[in-house]
Structure 1
Amino acid sequence: MSTADAVFAALTPTIEGIVATFGRSCEVVLHDYRDQERSVVAVAGSVTGRVPGDAMSEIGLRVLAAGDDARNEVGYLTRAQDGRVLKCTTLPLRDVDGTLIGALCINIDMSAITRATGVLSDLLGLSAAEETTATTDFSGDLDQVVESLVKRAERAHAVPVAALGRDERLTLVRSLHEAGVFSLRGAPARIAKRLGISRTGLYNDLAELKKDQP
């Protein structure tokens, strides 16, 4: 058994204990990044609807892209596509050599706490805080995750990607790069097809972005 296999074998029963401790609002997802298309190897609880065999989310892409620089991200907020606010923790997993092999993700549905906070705010005469939490795609399909990122860019520019000028497209490609999409195997072909350009055109865009990096 490899070191990575031993890590996942040890953590698989552990995630059930974490969920049992925090209750039904908690979900724990174990990712094995050696299989990017089916990185989810175990799930305890049900908050985002993830199941074994699903792909990583936008959050996973970000961790994968960070590679050796990936660090624990604890207690950050995001929003599921159905509008629920989630408090999440992402813990990168490494083998004995320090190579990134996966991640342990804890997602807590804040709906009940949010409702209780609203009631208390009303009773105390306080104004509810404005929520600006970004939405995360937990669909479990990498093509759908990429599609969500592209559509977000379309909304930001208020035009479809096919109508973007070169500078606007470079901004979009930069955002996809920063989101970790290009860490995926076969990403250039996927992205080029979605943007309606050739792979050569996409590689030229990436080369242009590299010129701007210090």
Structure 2
Amino acid sequence: MNETRQLLESYFPIASFIAAIIGPKCEVVVHDISDPERSIIFIENGHISGRKVGDASTDLVLKILKAEAYREEQFIANYKASGPRGQTFRSATYFIKDRNGGLVGLMCLNIDVTHMDVAAEWINSILQGASLTPPTSIDAPKEEKPSTEYLQGNVDDLLQHIIQSVLSKISMPADRLSSQEKIDIVKELNEQGVFLLKGGVSKVAAALSISEPTVYRYLQKLK
């Protein structure tokens, strides 16, 4: 077992400890970022999001890897996430770093607060401990509407979610967009980490009605 794997596995009992304290509505996940398509190597209460060991990273994990926010922070906390069944989560992510400060993994907590909205009046003091907003260090400027994390373990579904989220901002069909508009879309998708995943290029090419070599050419223009 290599040193990185040992480090990541040392967080497994911590993840179990946290889940045991907070209870069955708290999902705790350990990610190995070396393999974004199968990054989940440990999970407690995975029934909450439907994810399991061997599932992929989330859109927020990909954004963290691209933005490198972990270089200045130890963790991000109290942001909002959503699940595949419409759940709402209050979430936090701890950056697992090696002895040289390099990011090797993440430990993520996702507390299902979906039903708390119904009883918001008497648990308001709990929910107001910190606002349910995404981490400002890696998201859009404050004046823009912030995005949330999407807890989806399937790579194809994750890619589809990110691509459609970007395309939904556009009022016309993709095949009617100009080359520059498509380059701008590829730039935004690249910033969101789409191309860190296998199949990202082919999915984007299909969504924009262009060839895969064209996507690679657009990416070269962004360097």
Q: Residues 51-200 of structure 1: matches in 2 within 5 Å?
A: 51-67=52-68, 69=71, 71=73, 72-117=75-120, 134=147, 136-184=149-197, 187-200=200-213
Counterpart position of 1:127: none
8 Å Cα contact 2:93-2:109 kept in structure 1: yes
**Once the two structures are superposed, what CA deviation does each residue of 1:120-154 show, in whole Å capped at 9, x if it has no partner?**
89xxxxxxxxx977454322122221111111122
Shift of 1:163: 3.2
8 Å Cα contact 1:92-1:102 kept in structure 2: yes
Identity of aligned residues (%): 28
Output the CA distance in 2 between the equivalents of 1:120 and 1:30: 29
Counterpart position of 1:124: none
Output the CA distance in 2 between the equivalents of 1:120 and 1:193: 46
Aligned residues: 201
What amino acid is aligned across from residue 69 of structure 1 in structure 2?
Answer: R
Output the CA distance in 1 between the equivalents of 2:107 and 2:72: 13
Shift of 1:194: 4.0
Instruction: Write 1 or 2 for the structure with the bigger share of helix.
Output: 1
Equivalent position SS for 1:103: strand
Normalised TM-score (structure 2):
0.77
Equivalent position SS for 2:213: helix
Equivalent position SS for 1:116: coil
Shift of 1:209: 3.5
Gap change, CA 1:166 and 1:32, over 3 Å in 2: same
Equivalent position SS for 1:55: coil
8 Å Cα contact 1:79-1:85 kept in structure 2: yes
Normalised TM-score (structure 1):
0.80
Output the CA distance in 1 between the equivalents of 2:123 and 2:196: 45
8 Å Cα contact 1:33-1:39 kept in structure 2: yes
Q: Which range moved further: 194-203 or 18-27?
A: 194-203
User: Could you say what the CA RMSD is over the residues aligned between the two structures, in angstroms?
Assistant: 2.6
**Structure 2 segments unaligned to the other structure (5+ residues):** 125-132, 134-144
Equivalent position SS for 1:117: coil
Gap change, CA 1:161 and 1:102, over 3 Å in 2: farther
Output the CA distance in 2 between the equivalents of 1:21 and 1:150: 37
Output the CA distance in 2 between the equivalents of 1:6 and 1:208: 40
Gap change, CA 1:70 and 1:152, over 3 Å in 2: farther
Shift of 1:186: 6.1
Shift of 1:40: 0.5
Output the CA distance in 1 between the equivalents of 2:184 and 2:152: 25
